[in-house]
A and B are shown apart, each in its own frame.
Chain A
Amino acid sequence: MNNNGYYGRYGGSYIPEILYTSQQQLLKEYRQAQADSSFQLELQQEMQQFSGRPTPLTPCRNLSKLLGGAQIYLKREDLNHSGAHKMNNVIGQGLLVKRMGKKRIIAETGAGQHGIASALIAARLGLECTVYMGAKDIERQYPNVFWMKQLGAEVVPVTSGGQTLRDALDEALRDWTDSHPSSHYLIGTSCGCAPYPEMVAKFQSVIGRETKEQSQQLFNALPDAVYASVGGGSNACGIMLPFQSDVAVELIGVEAGGRGTKPGDHAVRLSNNRAETDSPAMLGSPGIAQGFASIFLQDEQGQLQETHSIAAGLDYVGVSPIIADLAEKNRLRMIAAKDDKVIEAFQLLLRHEGIIPALESAHAVAGAISEIPQRPKEQNVVINISGRGDKDIFNVASAVGDPEFDRFLSRYLDQSLKT
């Protein structure tokens, strides 16, 4: 990255002028904190004592045997407090907020994982917390909304546009233009204006550093390949960046193939995996929006497009400038997994390994499963399980078509309406 926050031709800072002072303040505080050993120590302690790090690297003997190819290991970010890797970032930014002396955080959320993590850290650090969430995502992920409110956060439904993550991000930015002297915008992924992509990736890179060490312990080598799902890109940046200069380690990002390649049916910004997306070329194109330059799904007039994924955390219209750059330089190979393949992968992991991944993370599993049988048995691959799947109970129940679950819901509703 250069000084202006560029990764190749992506990144930078394209924000309304009103945010300039707060952006500069954040940049300065972040740089100082990076060089401050007491900050780093506190960060490490919080990750350990509050989030339960390090998270394990779990060998998947059954699934490896079943697929008959490379040996599979899962990096268990689902075991973080809050159930997702999002915790790593909010701990880091939360401590920065304290350092800056601000009293309130603003967050956007898609699946609700970042919203929950933000609400948790706000409660722990005594900060006010406002979470913007697309009205459509609130419908898909109400259990998370419930917990955010219980934790004391204000959840604001965003009803403009497609009512998903991207609209929530716009609205969070609007709040910040109004409240920036006292509020910090705690962005949940490695997107946005500089220094957010760098900062979020840095706080998340604990995932990759641990994976590196644990790989040596478990199989005495670096992994041959690392798979991660890519929505905004924070879990992928987190696990991959520490391997960036280990060129023998293949890095593969898996984005949401959704229902198909029509606009509005997917969130495939970078990959051109024909088998999965039936697409001859990259679907996204270079653009500048939401504060940064990257690859966005947009029409020929430069209007950002609607997206879809069964996983609310992956249907983002843009992608981290770090990911866009790594993909452009061919350091990172991008593929996509469609909704139905994701559900299959999800079920395989449940049945054979006793692990319930988030639907977001199940994309990484699906992507890996599509390639692992072709890899030699001597290879070791790591899949990042960015979060756990409890939150997806409603969506999975409907995707697998469990009639008993629906009957339970209606009985529960009858009961609670009576009382």
Chain B
Amino acid sequence: MSNDRTPETSQLQQFIQQERKLKPILLMTHVVYGYPSIEDSIRLMETLLESGVELLEIQFPFSDPIADGPSILNACHKAINHRPQLDHCLKAIESFKQRFPNSRILLMSYLNPLYRYGLSKLVKEAATGVSGLIIPDLPLEQAEQYRKDCELAGIDPIWLITPDTPESRLVQHCEAATGMLYCVSRRGVTGKTDSQKEDSKQIPTTTVSLRDYLGLVAEKSTVPLAVGFGIRERHQITMLQGLADVAIVGSALLDAYDNGGLRQIRQLITTLRGKN
């Protein structure tokens, strides 16, 4: 199926490309809204934005996050106890956008809370502060209306691809992609990985090497590539330089926060940046 409109480079894509002229790789950090409390999660987000992360991924918690491992699952369940409200979360994001113009914010959640809120309504309202939306349980073929809504609102729907994604399907995703592509580095859920067994020497992938996988994606895609799942350490990020534009750190950040609060977070960001 040919697309008669040539996709314009989105603002998110422009931002990433602009930043990449200055840096070998960008950092996207992942935070769960409402964990450990609504206020503390806001403070955590501010800390990350103050430390200059280029992209902040805010997860609106859902009771049944099937793509998430123990760290994020636990954070989501604790966050839900504080009865997080999606509209409050959007307001917080809007204020960040004004206060931190040098970063971009992506909203991530599972379909049900967004569906409950009204997916079209959410896309429209999110546009004031959110640059991209990540919904891991919304596959491309169920997303016709969502894509139209996103295009109208000027938000990028961020698609996930994996090392197991067949090439024909990869091409479909690359054609649909705007903003950036979220390349899942391996099988399984977020967080706890084989990398712990392997002493974090590598980013674990499946049958194909990460280099081959990202190489193939880069060949098919015109948008920046972000890589996530199992990234915990500086040398993993160094390894991604030249292969990807954005390194995504999620569970490792949560674990650092649980161990040593905001101080540990600042330290981790510095370490990940390689500025120590």
Measuring CB to CB, which residues of chain A are less than 8 angstroms from any residue of chain B?
A: 4, 12-18, 20-21, 160-161, 166, 170, 173-174, 177-181, 287-291, 296, 298, 300-304
9 A-B pairs besides A20-B166, A160-B77 with CB distance below 8 A are: A15-B139, A17-B159, A18-B164, A18-B188, A20-B139, A20-B169, A170-B65, A298-B112, A302-B112
Contact A300 B116 (CB under 8 A): yes
Q: Known contacts A12-B142, A15-B137; decide if A302 and B116 are in contact (CB<8 Å).
A: yes
Shortest Cβ distance from B68 into A: residue: A174
CA distance in complex: A215, B60 (Å): 53
**Chain B 90-119 interface residues, beta-carbon cutoff 8 Å to A:** 110-117
Does any Cβ of A come within 8 Å of B32's Cβ? no
Known: A170-B66, A303-B63. A13 touches B116 (CB 8 A): no
Interface residue? B219 (CB, 8 A) = no
Given the known interface contacts A14-B139, A161-B77, the answer about A302 and B164 at a Cβ–Cβ threshold of 8 Å is no
The reply to whether B136 and A178 contact each other, CB–CB distance below 8 Å, is no
B25 at the interface (CB under 8 A from A): no
Closest chain B CB from A298 CB (angstroms): 7
Cα A43 to Cα B81 with chains together (Å): 47
Cβ < 8 Å to A, chain B residues 77-93: 77, 80, 83-86
Q: How many residues of B contact A (CB 8 A)?
A: 43
A14 touches B138 (CB 8 A): yes
B184 close to chain A: CB less than 8 A: yes
B70: A residues at CB distance < 8 A: 160
| Complex A-B: 26 CB contacts under 8 Å | A16-B67, A17-B184, A18-B164, A20-B166, A160-B73, A166-B64, A170-B64, A170-B66, A174-B66, A174-B188, A174-B189, A177-B66, A177-B189, A179-B187, A287-B112, A287-B115, A287-B116, A288-B111, A289-B111, A289-B112, A290-B64, A298-B116, A300-B116, A301-B85, A301-B113, A303-B61
Are B63 and A16 within 8 A (Cβ)? no
Report the minimal beta-carbon distance from A193 to chain B, rounded to whole angstroms.
Answer: 9
Taking the closest CB of chain A, its distance from the CB of B213, in whole angstroms, is: 13
Question: CB distance B67 to A177 under 8 Å?
Answer: yes
A19's closest neighbor in chain B, by CB?
A: B164
B116: which A residues are within 8 A, CB to CB? Answer: 287, 298, 300-302
Are the C-beta atoms of A16 and B137 separated by less than 8 Å?
yes
Residues of the A chain whose Cβ atoms lie less than 8 Å from the Cβ of B85: 301
- Smallest Cβ distance from B234 to chain A, in angstroms? 26
Within 8 A of A (CB), among B128-186: 136-139, 141-142, 159-162, 164-166, 169, 184
Nearest-Cβ distance from residue B78 to partner chain A, whole angstroms: 11
Rounded to whole angstroms, the CA-CA distance of A303 and B61 in the bound complex is: 9
Give, as a whole number of angstroms, the nearest-CB distance from A176 to chain B: 9
Residues of B within 8 A of A (CB): 61-67, 69-70, 73-74, 77, 80, 83-86, 110-117, 136-139, 141-142, 159-162, 164-166, 169, 184, 187-189
Find chain A residues with CB under 8 A from B115 CB. 287-288, 302
Least distance between A302 CB and chain B CB atoms (Å): 3
Whether A301 touches B84, Cβ cut-off 8 Å, given contacts A17-B160, A161-B77, A287-B112, is yes
Docked CA distance A372–B67 (Å): 46
Least CB separation from A290: chain B residue: B64
User: Which B residues are in CB contact (< 8 Å) with A181?
Assistant: 164
Instruction: Kindly state the separation between the CA atoms of A111 and B61 in the bound complex, as whole angstroms.
Output: 28
In contact, A289 and B64 (Cβ under 8 angstroms): yes
Complex Cα gap A166–B69 (Å): 16
Contact A288 B164 (CB under 8 A): no
Q: Taking A21-B166, A161-B77, A166-B64 as contacts, is the C-beta distance between A289 and B189 under 8 angstroms? A: no
- A301 & B139 in contact (Cβ 8 Å cutoff): no
B111 CB contacts on chain A under 8 angstroms? 14, 288-289
Interface-centre pick from B65, B67, B74, B166 (highest chain A CB count, 10 A): B67
Smallest beta-carbon distance A321→chain B, Å: 14
**Shortest distance in angstroms between B223's beta carbon and chain A's nearest beta carbon?**
16
- Within the complex, what minimum Cβ distance (angstroms) separates A76 from chain B? 35
The interface residues of chain A lying within 8 Å CB-to-CB of B136 are 16-17
List A contacts of B141 (CB < 8 A): 4
Contact yes or no, A21 B164, CB < 8 A: yes
Please name all residues of chain B whose beta carbon is closer than 8 Å to the beta carbon of A160 when the two chains form the complex.
70, 73-74, 77
Which 5 pairs show the lowest CB-CB distances between chains A and B?
A: A302-B116, A178-B188, A302-B113, A16-B67, A18-B162
Q: Would A289 and B142 count as touching, CB distance under 8 A?
A: no
The residue on B at minimum CB distance from A306 is B63
Measured CB to CB, the nearest residue on chain A to B229 is: A18
Contact indicator B161/A17 (Cβ below 8 Å):
yes
Residue in A17, A178, A304 whose beta carbon sits within 8 Å of that of B64 in the complex = A304
A311 to B203, CA, bound (A): 44
Contacts of A170 in B (CB 8 A): 64-66
Report the bound CA distance from A178 to B205 in whole Å: 11
Residues of A within 8 A of B142 (CB): 12-14
Give B206's nearest chain A residue, CB to CB: A181
Contacts of B187 in A (CB 8 A): 18, 177-180
Contacts of A16 in B (CB 8 A): 66-67, 136-137, 160
